[in-house]
Chains A and B, each alone.
Chain A
């Protein structure tokens, strides 16, 4: 079974530029998550999708971050314009569905963003 795919793996941009990350979850997984992991910290949820609807985006900085999940499969996370403090690893995860006691989140390898 293929895992969660993310691209690109690494990205370096100047501040105020825009950037987009892509995630392809495990086939059949209804729930998709984007986490931000700043160096030395644990991952922090940015947004959670259930199929193509947003379940939780309370911690997403909506003035600069946006995300979509078209057709309930792939997802894109965008930052525009980027700030220095956005330097982090962006992790995508998926699970069969939210709310089940056996629900396990499977993580992709992440995209390491460096903002100069």
Chain B
């Protein structure tokens, strides 16, 4: 079974500051890991995904995440926050081979202060 824990349900940063959203996973098989973003009244949009090719994954809108097996972590970062980054962010892990449904964390709401 897989699970994801996102530390911090709300994170607030100033515009231009570093964004760090934390995600730890549990998986009995090598995981595929994803970060999705959800804007109000919209569906989820993929930011980036880890599929074992490279531990540092670059995504859209300047976000990146690093897979650390020893720490079972997949934290999301962005060097400089923009007002448009304000949204809900979900970390997710996929299931076993043949069953790629996602198990999501509870989400982190990012606020960006001017």
Contacts and interface: CB of A to CB of B under 8 A. Distances in A.
Interface of A: 4, 31, 33, 40-45, 48, 55-56, 91, 93, 95, 98-110
Contacts of A48: 99, 101
A45 B42 CA distance: 18
A45 B101 contact: yes
Contact of A42 (B51, B92, B101): B92
Interface in B23-56: 32, 36, 41-46, 49, 51-52
Given A98-B99, A99-B97, A101-B32, A42 B45 contact: no
Given A41-B106, A42-B104, A42-B107, A107 B98 contact: no
B32 A42 contact: no
Given A91-B44, A104-B49, A109-B41, A44 B99 contact: no
A43 B104 CA distance: 6
Interface residues of B, number: 27
Nearest to A107: B43
Nearest to A10: B41
Contacts of A41: 106-107
Contacts of B44: 43, 91, 93, 107
Given A104-B46, A110-B43, A56 B99 contact: yes
Interface string B39-77: 001111110010110000000000000000000000000
Nearest to B100: A98
Contacts of B51: 101-102
25 contacts: A40-B107, A41-B107, A42-B92, A42-B104, A42-B105, A42-B107, A44-B104, A45-B102, A48-B99, A48-B101, A55-B98, A56-B99, A98-B100, A99-B97, A99-B98, A101-B51, A103-B94, A104-B49, A105-B100, A105-B102, A107-B36, A107-B45, A108-B43, A109-B43, A110-B42
